[in-house]
Chain A
Amino acid sequence: MVSNSSSEAELKKVTWELASYKIELHKTTGFLQCILQNATDLIFATDAEGLLISFSKGGEKVLGYSWEEVVGRPIKALAKDPESFEPVMVSCQEEGCALVLDVPFQHKDGKTVYCNASLMDLTNREGQRIGTVAICQDITRWKRLQEDLIQVDRLAEIGRIAAGVAHEINNPVAVIREASGWAAEVIGDAEGLSPDDRQELENVIKQIKAQTGRCRDITHKLLTFVRGSVPTKSEFDVHELLEETIGLLKPELKHSGIEIDLNFAEGPLSVNSNPKLLEQVFVNCLANAIHAVIEKGGDNGRIEIRTVNNNSEVEISVADNGVGIPKEDQGKIFDLFYTTKPPGKGTGLGLPICQNILRQLGGDIYFESEVGVGTTFTVRISVS
């Protein structure tokens, strides 16, 4: 059977070809998988319904999920705001591709990760949609850097304006202060004043003095804020400085019955920095902590001061069990003039000044807070 043997050969050939295609396919899949796995960018592929089928190593790193955790989930579930991600997918389907900048994704731990995303619609030879591939670049760091720069610029500008205003205000306030001081002396010497009138006038003068003092407090702090010079540095022990600072606030602590816990790293914590400026930062953090505890009331107020030595930098954290900062206010606490204290009690300059100081000294200040539980401020300074 000639035809039989020839079809047998044919079959053999086809089988062989099929096998080689299969190997080829396997290789290609492996190759693609390899690219996908090792790409530092976030690359994901979905099926036609938008369910994730593939997720790059870069994606695992950027978003914190492993492939097994996200496979089968809709891609939009990874976006910070799934609803607003929907139109992006739609436009990708309509146009065949889409480029969106600055898309907020949500990291497994809740942080927002910003990406520039390029989406492509995949269609097979029959023109059927089979899915979407998205290549995203994590720009969070870059974005934060840019925001910092804008912030620095903005602060510098505000600083210049504020310093100008502070100076202009200082002079008339100084006149008011001297004039009221003189008035006090004239009243003191005046004859024929009834005791009631004298008392009343003395109160008025006292009030003028207090209020000009308030103005002075603001203008002087503002002028400190814009101090542009490079601070001088010297070697000192952070623990010693902290103990001195606590000493400064002893009266307030005693008065409010707050318990202070010191949890210091072993030995002295020697840094090369500016002790005067750092003291200002510590006083601020401690005063805020005391205030938060008092505001909460009750009598189990506690403040813990902890230090950590990380060799190239040291961390000092001040944790209180006070009222905490509401989520909606957390973004504003470093803003100039932002304060929750009643008029005359807070200037809204303390934390921006601290932030400014740490920027100058090479360091950082950040916080974590939960309403009703407390707030922890952490100051990080480089050792040299």
Chain B
Amino acid sequence: MSDQQHIRVLLVDDEENLLEYLSKRLLKKGFAVKATFSGEQAVEVAQHEPYDVAVVDLKMPGIDGVETQKRLRQIQPFLQCIVLTGHGSVESALESGQQEAFEYLLKPVDYDKLLVAISEAYKRKVDLQTAKFREEVEKVQMAGMGPRGIRKAIRELEKIYGIE
């Protein structure tokens, strides 16, 4: 499972017991996992650390899952969110959100389904990010800078988009 090695997953759920076991299992699979127990905590963490995929509960005390997704994506626009909810139907979740979550899953979730969703969400994130990076690089090329300037600008972009 080497290609999961670098997928950084942010878990957000007020059900601490659930996150305990879920993070243990994901860690063992090779993901980099951070568990947070509220929307506020997740937003705080996301300000300092980049993530690829967030798995967010919908109903939490404090800011709810919809609001959490919104704030997370303001900080990290490429972050993909998977909504995990025990509440209502998936459809009602869709209505309440419209936050373009990558996928809605009903609790209790099938673990394998979650794994698939995470790696697909990761792929989507990388694709979007790469496309945007290319676009920016093209802009730099069109800007008529000298080779030194271009190189510097691209290095700058690589840093922003987390491409090594």
A: residues with CB less than 8 A from B are 163, 167, 170-171, 173-179, 181-182, 185, 212, 215-216, 220, 223-224, 226-229
- CB pair A179 B108 closer than 8 Å: no
Q: Which residues of A contact B86 (CB under 8 A)?
A: 167, 170-171, 174
Select one of A163, A173, A185, A226 contacting B108, CB under 8 A: A173
- CB pair A179 B21 closer than 8 Å: yes
Q: In the complex, what distance in Å separates the CA atom of A226 from the CA atom of B90?
A: 12
Report if B91 contacts A (CB, 8 A): yes
A277 to chain B, nearest CB (A): 11
Instruction: Across the interface, name the chain B residue whose C-beta is closest to A222.
Output: B89
Q: In the complex, what distance in Å separates the CA atom of A206 from the CA atom of B88?
A: 28
Q: In the complex, what distance in Å separates the CA atom of A167 from the CA atom of B111?
A: 19
Instruction: Across the interface, name the chain B residue whose C-beta is closest to A171.
Output: B86
Number of A-B contacts (CB under 8 A): 63
- CB pair B25 A178 closer than 8 Å: yes
Give B61-95 as 1s and 0s: 1 = Cβ < 8 Å from A's Cβ atoms.
00000000000000000000000001111011001
- CB pair A185 B89 closer than 8 Å: no
| Given known A181-B25, A185-B25, contact A174–B109 (CB-CB < 8 A) | yes
A161 to chain B, nearest CB (A): 14
- CB pair A212 B108 closer than 8 Å: yes
Instruction: Across the interface, name the chain A residue whose C-beta is closest to B21.
Output: A178
- CB pair B28 A227 closer than 8 Å: no
- CB pair A227 B22 closer than 8 Å: no
| Given known A174-B109, A185-B25, A212-B108, contact A167–B87 (CB-CB < 8 A) | yes
Give B89-110 as 1s and 0s: 1 = Cβ < 8 Å from A's Cβ atoms.
1011001000000000011110
- CB pair A227 B25 closer than 8 Å: no
Q: Which residues of B contact A182 (CB under 8 A)?
A: 21, 24-25
Given contacts A176-B108, A178-B21, A223-B106, 11 further A-B contacts (CB under 8 A): A167-B59, A170-B108, A173-B107, A174-B18, A178-B108, A181-B111, A182-B21, A185-B25, A185-B28, A220-B106, A224-B89
A220 to chain B, nearest CB (A): 6
Report if B15 contacts A (CB, 8 A): yes
B: residues with CB less than 8 A from A are 15, 17-18, 21-22, 24-25, 28, 59, 86-89, 91-92, 95, 106-109, 111
B37 to chain A, nearest CB (A): 14
Q: In the complex, what distance in Å separates the CA atom of A174 from the CA atom of B85?
A: 10
Q: Which residues of A contact B59 (CB under 8 A)?
A: 167
Q: In the complex, what distance in Å separates the CA atom of A274 from the CA atom of B17?
A: 39
- CB pair A227 B89 closer than 8 Å: yes
Q: In the complex, what distance in Å separates the CA atom of A182 from the CA atom of B91?
A: 30
Q: In the complex, what distance in Å separates the CA atom of A179 from the CA atom of B89?
A: 24
Q: Which residues of A contact B109 (CB under 8 A)?
A: 174
Select one of A175, A220, A224, A227 contacting B18, CB under 8 A: A175
- CB pair A171 B21 closer than 8 Å: no
Select one of B18, B28, B89 contacting A226, CB under 8 A: B89
Instruction: Across the interface, name the chain A residue whose C-beta is closest to B17.
Output: A175
Task: Give 15 A-B contacts (CB < 8 Å), ordered by A residue.
Answer: A167-B88, A170-B87, A171-B15, A171-B86, A174-B86, A174-B109, A177-B108, A178-B22, A178-B111, A179-B17, A181-B25, A216-B106, A223-B89, A229-B91, A229-B92
